[in-house]
Copies of this chain bind each other. A is one copy, B any other.
Amino acid sequence: MNEFELIDVFLEAFALRPPPAGPGDDAAVLPPTPRAQVVTTDAVVEGVHFSRRTFSLGDVGHKALAVNLSDVAAMGARPTWALCALQLPVGVTASEVRALSAGMAALAAAHGVSLVGGNVTRGRELSVTVTVAGEVPSGRRPLTRKGARPGHRVYVSGPLGSAAAGVEVLSAAAARGPGPVKVERAWDALVAAQRRPSPHVRWGLEASRFASSSIDVSDGLVQDLSHVCDASGVGVALTSGALPVLEALLLWCESERDVLRAALTGGEDYVLAVTVPPSRCRAFERRLSRLGFGAFPIGVVTKARGLTVDGRRFEGRSGFQHFGEGSARRR
């Protein structure tokens, strides 16, 4: 397939607007907007974020968009459009491209995101770089990492550590030998968290009515909260018993200590972590609960800098870094 045929195959699954609002011109044209916009870009790369043995191409397409939607969600914005830059190995087949596209298109449709353009190039490894924009609802401000004040409560939007355990499950399954990777049903939720994270877009939109700061947990809770602490000039005191985890994580881990480590440092959960002023906590919890969403209080913002867990200063590996030892150990 040549470049243009690949593009046509990739675009089949998407509901596209005609150019210049959709793909087909040198750039996509977007109408003026009276609202503030947020933009972000993130990539998933073969051999770094996934392997072809443990991820389907549909998973890859889903995840490449999901990690960006999570960033938009963290800003309290509603995702609007996306651009997708594909780097495809020579010899990629139409059905592979179709699978990749289907995974991304389904998630885009679920969130009302329009694919407005992109790019295709060759590369030795498969990589998908997505750019997503969102708009800040009128009358609201975008959430940022700055704004946490001592006394504000820290909440997360879902269970922690699942995606990191999912990597372990998949690695263990792959190590059992060649051929298709088979995973026991017991670990489905962990594997799903790794392959098909659900960006908490609606949660972030609701949180933006109440929260003082926000971040998405992509590199591990401790590391991501440390960014909030740095930007806001504060610290955080976490309560280990309050960290939400899946039952499957408890079963997978050999010790309580491993569970805690996964919850504190495991990357790629793509849940949101926000801080809420005490005066707004009750309304926040009520609102989220009325919508059927969890909002898990896990700690409190402190004047003292640094991060503590159950009163002890947290030391140790702080999350998922692509270039540090951590990442070499991870995959």
Contact = CB atoms under 8 A, between A and B. Distances in A.
B322 A29 contact: no
Contact of A127 (B34, B127, B146): B127
Interface of A: 1-6, 19-20, 24-43, 45, 47-49, 70-72, 74-75, 77, 81, 83-85, 87-88, 90, 116-125, 127, 129, 131, 133-134, 136, 142, 144-146, 214-216, 231, 321-324, 327
Nearest to A83: B41
B40 A28 contact: yes
A319 to B, nearest CB: 10
Contacts of A74: 26-27
A37 B88 CA distance: 29
Nearest to A28: B39
Given A85-B42, A87-B43, A30 B36 contact: yes
A265 to B, nearest CB: 14
Nearest to A31: B36
14 contacts: A2-B323, A3-B321, A3-B323, A19-B231, A26-B72, A26-B214, A29-B75, A39-B133, A43-B85, A48-B122, A85-B85, A85-B131, A124-B125, A131-B131
B40 A26 contact: yes
A19 B121 contact: no
Contacts of A39: 27-28, 30, 81, 83, 116-117, 131, 133
A164 to B, nearest CB: 17
A118 to B, nearest CB: 6
B32 A34 contact: yes
B40 A145 contact: no
Given A121-B322, A127-B127, A30 B40 contact: no
Contact of A27 (B2, B27, B40): B40
Contacts of A231: 19, 24-25
